[in-house]
Amino acid sequence: MDELEARANAQLDGLYEFNEKLTAILVRETSPDDLVTAEVDGNGSLQGLWLAPGANELGATRLGEQIVATAAMAAQRAFAKRAAITEEFNESFAELLASRPVT
């Protein structure tokens, strides 16, 4: 019974750690011209947006495109981090499940 409880606790700890890592994802990306900086979370949601002095000189259309492109790059990096964390979790959880005692 102690072994079963220890394994269940290890699985719960693994799930908790996985959730913490996903929640902690925050990616900041700056446009090549350094005029736009966007920050997104692990879901790709915009969490911050900074415009450098002179950004308004791009004009509304180009500035909008720059904001979208920069936020999209940040989201791609966030999704890559999320995928790596998920892959790591899946491998470690599979090992934990494989080590269960045979009844």
Q: What is the mean pLDDT of each run of 10 residues along the chain (103 residues)?
A: 80 91 97 97 97 96 98 98 95 76 56
Paired tokens of 14: 């693994």
Q: What is the number of alpha carbons within 13 Å of residue 20 lying toward its C-beta?
A: 6
- What pLDDT shows up at residue 8? 81
**Residue 103 belongs to some domain of the structure:** no
Count of domains forming the chain = 1
**Residue 102 belongs to some domain of the structure:** no
CATH number at residue 54: 3.30.1310.10
Domain that holds residue 56: 1-97
**Residue 91 belongs to some domain of the structure:** yes
Name the residue among 16, 68, 58, 9 with its Cα closest to residue 33: 58
